Amino acid sequence: MSDVVDVKVLGGYRLWLKFDDGDQGEIDLEPVLQPFENLFAALRDPVYFAKVKVSRTLGTICWPNGVDLDPDVLHHRATGKPLPF
C-alpha cells in the first residue's frame, strides 16, 4: 500500500499526487465524480474540489466534508501500476 504524501491541484478536477514510495503522477477525477451523489456531489464544485488536502492519518487525500479516496486506487490511476490485490 502506498500512502499519498503530497497533492497539488492542477485545475479542473486534475490532481498531481506524490506517494511515499517515490512514485508520482497526475489523475483526472472528473469521470469518477460524475455518477456520485451525496457527499461526493460537493466535489463537483471546482472551488470546493480545490480544498483537497493530504490526511497523514489516513494516508490519502480528503476534503473538509470527510470524503477520502483509496490510496491504492489513486496510485494505480496516477502511475498505471497494477493494484496490489
The 3-state secondary structure of 10-75 reads EECCEEEEEECCCCEEEEECHHHHCCCCHHHHHHHCHHHHCCCEEECCCCEEECCCCCECCHHHHH
Span 49-83, pLDDT tens digits: 999 999 999 999 999 999 999 999 999 999 999 99
Choosing among 3.40.50.2020, 3.30.2020.10, 3.40.50.1950, 3.30.2270.10, the CATH entry for 4-79 is 3.30.2020.10
- Is the entire prediction scored with pTM above 0.95? no
pLDDT in tens, 9-63: 999 999 999 999 999 999 999 988 876 677 788 999 999 999 999 999 999 999 9
Please state the domain extents for the chain. Answer: 4-79
